[in-house]
Amino acid sequence: MVTDPGFGRRQRVMIVLALLLLACTPWFVSVDVLCQGDTVQITIRRLGEYAVPVRRIRVVDKAVERTVWEVYQANPESMRAMDRLRLQAGNNAVLPDGLARLGFQISVPACGDSFELRPQRPYQIEFLVEGATMRKAFSIPGVPKAGERME
């Protein structure tokens, strides 16, 4: 029986390449969204418990395909990890939950100190993590105030 002496070497190279690919992708990063009342709690973790370095966060209004909020890490070389974000129906601060301390800066909205999320509207949150974008859809249930009409 004749064996190919390069076969074992090719296998080892393929295994090393596969391991490098796994190490460079956010396979074990999960984004969970919990909506209760007029708030939404977003959790992003690696292996279910570790904070993740996030380069950019964006919220898109899916009804009109428009970015309503976007922040980014000002200095990607010194990114600090985050694991949760809390948003609510109505006005939200452009740098909620201490994102300024983590080095985030505002991209959208270009001016103003808040952005609005409306109840019953479809949104998508996006996290740019290690070169991949993690997306999760959500809608804030909310409760209409007296005389307010839900869309």
Q: What is the CATH number of the domain that holds 108?
A: 2.60.40
Kindly report, residue by residue over 110-133, the tens digit of the pLDDT: 888 899 999 999 999 999 987 788
CB-CB contact of 97 with 89 (8 Å): no
Structural tokens at position 29: 């990063």
pTM summary value: 0.74
Residue 126 lies in a domain: yes
> Residue 35 domain-assigned?
yes
Handedness of CA 129, 131, 133, 134 (dihedral sign): negative
Q: How many domains does the chain have?
A: 1
Residue 147 pLDDT: 45
Which has more confidence, 141 or 5?
141
Strand-pairing partners, residue 31, are 44
Which tens digit of pLDDT belongs to each residue from 44-67? 887 767 788 899 999 999 999 999
Give residue 20's pLDDT.
61
Q: Which domain holds residue 71?
A: 26-138
Contact present, 75 and 47 (Cβ < 8 Å):
no
φ/ψ of 49, rounded to 5, equals -145, -10
Q: Is residue 45 part of a domain?
A: yes
